[in-house]
């Protein structure tokens, strides 16, 4: 993997010795020593650019994004084909509305992707962040870069977050495109029966997409923490997806209603607020606060783990 070298290259001159250090504890000492003044302005920016290039540049990740973006397009084409058959209007969410207004393709696509596909993509990016490097044996080389481990973790987290944002943005853009081309846009009829102008409708769809993206930040933090625990990225990705699924299952058990407000996925479908006449900002605020809480707790756990772990691979 050329990644460690690519990242290290700009700073290689400052830390030539640490790359040759083989044993884990020494690497750690070296990186902690580098928390001292060797850092230069722009180091974080370079690190982040390198991480983004890595996450977005990987062929497998691009394939993943392409497949995700095809969901709304396929959905739109299928619906356009069956629009005159007995199957028209059947299905989950707002599927029956799409034929009349392509805007609903956005919310239907996100509705279909929210339970599994988007968490999966998020888990792949977050789970791969640290464990992928460890599994590939490149983590210790990466740590020779003279930045603090905390800074590296932040760069990794931002890269995973960006990948998730790109995924949601792609689904939204593909849905807008397919919906507009196949069905055309119209004024948006809200769930409560009121109709709002098209521009407001588009803004509300963007609100839906934004909220869905923000809802996934907690999962990024969980994945990042798991990623600092293990060296097999596939296991970490699976564990992260499982967290989302278990949370959904727990959320559906009325016996556990006491813990529902704290579950990661509890507010995921509140994006439907954007389709009600009066958007309850307090409800959306609860959802965002919950994600912030998960980010704070699992982000700090990931930091504590990553900055204290002995890295040997």
Partner 1 sequence: MKNKRLRWAVPAATAVAVGTAFAIPALATASADELPETTPADLLAAVAQAEPTAMSGTAVYTARLGLPELPAEMTGGADPLNLLSGSSTIRVWTDGAERSRVSLLGTTSEYSAVVDGPEAWTYSSAKNAVVHVSLDDAATAQLDAAKADAQARADAVDPASIPTPEALAEQVLAFASMTSEVTLDDNVVVAGRDAYQLEITPLTDDTLVDRIVVAFDGETYVPLSYQAWSSMDTSAPALEVAFTDVSMDAPSDAALAFSTPDGATVEEKVVTGEDLAAATAPAEGTEGDVPVLPEDFDPSTLDPSALTPGAGFLPEGTSISGFGWATVVEQSGVDVAGLLSGDVDADAADLPASPWAGRPAEDLAEEFRGSAADGGFSLDATALYDQLTTPVEGGRLFTSALLSALVTDDGRVFVGSVPTDTLLAAAGLA
Does 199 bind partner 1 (CB under 8 A)? Our answer is no
How many residues in the shown chain lie near partner 1 by CB under 8 A?
38
Task: Report the distance separating Cα 67 and Cα 156, nearest Å.
Answer: 23
308 part of the interface to partner 1, by CB under 8 A = yes
Binders of partner 1 among residues 63 to 82 (CB under 8 A) are none
- Among 38, 63, 66, 90, contact with partner 1 (rule: CB under 8 A): 90
SS3 196: strand
65 Cβ contact partners less than 8 Å away, ≥ 6 residues apart: 121, 166, 167, 170
**Rounded Cα–Cα distance for residues 250 and 154 (Å):** 30
Q: How far apart are the first and last CA of the chain?
A: 13
Q: Rounded CA gap, 110 and 75, in Å?
A: 11
226 binds partner 1 (CB under 8 A): no
Tally Cβ neighbours within 10 Å of residue 261. Answer: 11
Q: Could you say whether residue 194 binds partner 1 (CB under 8 A)?
A: yes
* Site for partner 1 contains 116 (CB under 8 A): no
Q: Residue 100 interacts with partner 1 (CB under 8 A)? A: yes
In the complex, least distance from residue 279 CB atom to partner 1, rounded to whole angstroms: 11
Q: Which of 2, 20, 85, 257 binds partner 1 (CB under 8 A)?
A: 257
111 touches partner 1 (CB under 8 A): yes
Choose the binding region for partner 1 from 55-63, 86-94, 166-174, 175-183 (rule: CB under 8 A): 86-94
Residues in the chain: 313
Specify whether the backbone of 310 is left (phi greater than 0), alpha (psi in -120 to 50) or beta: beta
Joined together, the tokens standing for residue 90 give: 């059947």
Q: Can residue 234 be called a binding residue for partner 1 (CB under 8 A)?
A: no
Establish if 85 lies at the interface with partner 1 (CB under 8 A).
Answer: no
Both tokens of 195, joined, read 């109709």
- Binding positions for partner 1, rule: CB under 8 A: 89-90, 93-94, 96-97, 100, 111, 186-187, 189, 191-195, 254, 257, 262, 269, 272, 275-278, 280, 282-283, 289, 293, 296-297, 300-301, 303-304, 307-308
């Amino acid at each position: 993997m050329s990644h460690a070298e690519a990242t290290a290259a700009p700073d290689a001159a400052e830390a030539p010795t640490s790359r040759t250090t083989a044993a884990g504890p020494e690497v750690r000492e070296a990186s902690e020593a580098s928390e001292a003044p060797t850092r230069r302005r722009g180091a974080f920016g370079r690190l982040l650019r390198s991480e983004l290039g890595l996450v977005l540049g990987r062929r497998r990740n691009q394939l993943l994004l392409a497949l995700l973006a095809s969901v709304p397009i396929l959905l739109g084409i299928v619906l356009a084909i069956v629009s005159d058959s007995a199957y028209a209007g059947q299905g989950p969410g707002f599927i029956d509305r799409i034929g009349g207004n392509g805007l609903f393709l956005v919310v239907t696509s996100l509705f279909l992707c929210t339970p599994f596909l988007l968490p999966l993509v998020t888990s792949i990016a977050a789970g791969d962040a640290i464990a992928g490097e460890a599994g590939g044996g490149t983590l210790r080389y990466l740590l020779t870069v003279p930045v603090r481990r905390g800074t590296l973790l932040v760069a990794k987290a931002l890269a995973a977050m960006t990948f998730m944002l790109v995924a949601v943005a792609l689904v939204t853009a593909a849905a807008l495109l397919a919906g507009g081309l196949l069905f055309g846009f119209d004024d948006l009829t809200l769930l409560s029966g009121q109709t709002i102008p098209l521009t407001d409708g588009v803004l509300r769809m963007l609100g839906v997409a934004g909220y869905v993206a923000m809802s996934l930040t907690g999962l990024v933090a969980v994945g990042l923490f798991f990623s600092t625990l293990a060296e097999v990225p596939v296991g970490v990705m699976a564990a992260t997806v499982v967290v989302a699924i278990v949370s959904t299952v727990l959320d559906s058990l009325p016996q556990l209603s006491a813990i529902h407000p704290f579950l990661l996925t509890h507010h995921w479908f509140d994006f439907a607020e954007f389709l009600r006449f009066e958007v309850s900002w307090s409800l959306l605020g609860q959802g965002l606060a919950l994600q912030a809480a998960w980010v704070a707790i699992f982000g700090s756990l990931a930091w504590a783990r990553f900055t204290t772990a002995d890295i040997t691979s």
